[in-house]
Amino acid sequence: MTEKLQGQPGETPRKRSQQDLGGGLFLIAIGLFAIWQGSNLPLGTLRSMGAGMLPISLAWMLIAGGALLVLTSFTTAGPDLERWSLRGLCYIIGGVLVFAFTVQRFGLIVAGPLSMIIGSFASDEARLKEAVIFAVIMTALCILLFKYALGLPIPVVNFRW
């Protein structure tokens, strides 16, 4: 995948992994945002964990992973940054919004597949048949996990008009 930078002795390598650098900085930014947002949550102790223990710990792990990615971006060659695709951004945000607006009205059985099918079209390689199969299987697993295994009060079937 990535190769060590090579060049003549004393020569500064020209190609660095811009994608790793950008991704690492983005992960660090998300981690710092999570720490800022969770700073008012009590951490507690390892014997008595508070509400902020998990999110703050995960945020620090995200920052560490981002820092590692930034450091390795200076020692490995990689691809340049590409232009952002608005298609992916619009379909993913659209899928999240569709889920938010349909889960209370129709339940998870409608909102889950619908949002996943919409989100799958963020890729140019999406096929409707594969997206439907994936969405149905994932929704069934989500219902089993959230409703029955965890006992969360999420509506599975709820056709309110």
Q: What is the pLDDT of residues 18-37, one digit of tens each?
A: 888 999 999 999 999 999 99
Q: Are residues 12 and 50 in the same domain?
A: yes
Q: Are residues 92 and 59 in the same domain?
A: no
Q: Are residues 36 and 93 in the same domain?
A: no
C-alpha 146/C-alpha 2 separation (Å) is: 39
If pLDDT is split at 50, 70 and 90, which confidence band does 3 have?
low
143-152 contacts at long range (C-beta below 8 A, 24 or more positions apart)? 143/108, 143/109, 143/112, 146/108, 147/108
- Of 44, 77, 110, the residue that ends a domain is 77
- Of 49, 77, 105, the residue that ends a domain is 77
Residue 12 maps to a domain: yes
Domain total in the chain: 2
Owning domain of residue 104: 86-149
Residue 44 maps to a domain: yes
Q: Are residues 142 and 95 in the same domain?
A: yes
Q: Are residues 102 and 63 in the same domain?
A: no
Residue 156 maps to a domain: no
Q: Are residues 7 and 52 in the same domain?
A: yes
Residue 155 maps to a domain: no
* Chain-centroid distance, C-alpha 48: 29
Per-residue model confidence as pLDDT tens digits over 62-77: 999 999 999 998 888 8
Contacts of 40 (CB under 8 A, 6+ apart): 52
Question: Which tokens sit at 36?
Answer: 């800022």
Indicate yes or no: pTM above 0.85. no
Residue 154 maps to a domain: no
Nearest to 66 by CA among 29, 34, 16: 29
Q: Are residues 20 and 73 in the same domain?
A: yes
Question: Which tokens sit at 123?
Answer: 């890729």
Q: What is the DSSP letter of 79?
A: P
